[in-house]
Amino acid sequence: MTYDLIVIGGGPAGYVGAIRAAQLGKKVACVENDRAGGTCLNWGCIPTKALLKNAELYHTLTHRADEFGLKIDGISYDWSKIVGRSRKVSDKLCGGIEFLFKKNKVDYIRGTAAIPAAGKVEVTDKDGKKTSYDTQKILVATGAKSRPMPGLPFNGKTVIGSREALTLAEQPKEILIVGAGAIGIEFAYFFNAYGTKVTVVEMMPRILPVEDEEVSAALEKSLKKAGIRILTNTKVTASKDHGDKVSLTVEGAANETLEAPMCLVAIGVVPLLPEGVELKKSEKGGWLDTDANYETSVKGIYGAGDIIGPPWLAHVASYEAVHAVEGMFKPGHKPKKVTTFPGCTYCQPQVASIGLTEAQAKAKGLKYKVGKFPYQVSGKALAIAETEGFVKIIYGEPHGEIIGAHIIGAEATELIAEMSLAVTMEATADEIEATIHAHPTLAEMLKEATEVAEGHPIHI
């Protein structure tokens, strides 16, 4: 059988690219060696959010019940059911992807793919049987996996990555987390909510280093108040797995040896490239190198998603896959590469942003003005007892275009959608102000922050 396109990888880039190609009338197959949905649906975005919702609810009932006039005696939790709920959510969505494949007539092939040559894909199934397929084009969307720490390999017990953290049979009493990016911070919040003693080690000067400095500082203050120990400007100089515990020697802001029965390593990811034909890779990180059309160094072979490098985000991966496929099969379509995108961290308080931080705007020599509005002044935030955080919008001068938006607080990851649309539509401060925002809502704060930037705030 000859295909128009074979997609290797069934994650947010792979399955979206396969379905879009099928919608364009092409004969498509998607090869996946695990389950449809990839890391995001199986071992990342979705199951972690299910766990985090559990943690948020448990924290509210145990620490804030009285605030809401609730009396709860003897509250407890079942760790296996907490983990089990997240797996059920993942299973349901992965089954949904398989349904979408059938609906769009995409052939779903289970196995490990290799590319012996352009136009050829060889799939090895779980029994070792190899099957060769011919195809006009290939889209590599194999993604990435957790980066191990030198000298401290993953073993699934004392040293774990994010995947193992999702299915722990027992809650650890204490855990060390190396890396304070989104993954490290989300798991720090999750474990801390249930009483696990958490220590986070980060070599950069602040947690969530890609976020605006004010946001990072506010979140660090909140997490420390919750009981999480955070060591920034701190480097791991030695590590050892003792079999029943892990020790880390750290230097910097702290100089000591840390010990815990478990260590979660969250220091980034490495590429998962298929075997076969040699494809050009980036000098830094070994990511798949692609041109403006998402085509690799071998004609007819394309790449999209995490495999082509940062940012490693599911929504970016899907965007890239759609543009790659439309560039292949949609006459006149000029693919777009990702330049501006929203980023989200789902701890509590949540963090979300798009565009430049204030430091980046300053470094570029841009003229700008900033509007900030605190949650504690929002009527809706007061009503739902979520007054921690703020909205910060950076507007360019003299035209008033949005060059950056940063939110920390309740539902920040939902609120950022308006700012993302505004950036895409090239909306200005005048247009945000002219848009009537429903009252009472948290979204009103985006308008309020804009009024602050324009110099005529009403409610602050």
Ordered alpha helix ranges (H), 226-347? 314-329
Active-site residue, from 242, 323, 437, 439: 439
Distance, in Å, from the CA atom of 144 to the CA atom of 308, rounded to the nearest integer, reads 10
Selection from 375, 301, 270, 292 nearest residue 338 by Cα? 292
Tokens of 147: 């980066």
37 is in an annotated binding site: no
Token representation of residue 231: 């060591």
174 labeled binding residue: no
Residue 179 is assigned to a ligand binding site:
yes
Residues recorded for the chain:
460
Helices (H), 265-404: 314-329, 358-363, 379-383
| 289 assigned binding-site residue | no
Is 268 flagged in the annotation as binding? yes
Task: Look at residues 171, 204, 201, 205 and name the one whose alpha carbon lies nearest to residue 184.
Answer: 201
DSSP letters along 98-128, please?
HHHHHHTT-EEEESEEEEEETTEEEEE-TTS
* 186 labeled part of a ligand binding site: yes
Known binding residue 137? Answer is no
214 assigned to a ligand binding site: no
Tell me: is residue 400 an annotated ligand-binding position: no
Q: Is 431 among the annotated ligand-binding positions?
A: no
Whether 459 is a known active-site residue: answer: no
Cα Dmax for the chain: 70
Q: Is 202 annotated as a binding residue?
A: yes
180 known ligand binder:
yes
E runs forming strands in 253-398: 256-260, 263-265, 269-271, 275-276, 301-303, 342-345, 350-355, 368-374, 390-396
Numbered residues of the known binding site:
49, 179-186, 202, 268, 306
Residues acting as catalytic residues = 439
Numbered residues of the known binding site for FAD:
49, 306
Numbered residues of the known binding site for NAD(+):
179-186, 202, 268
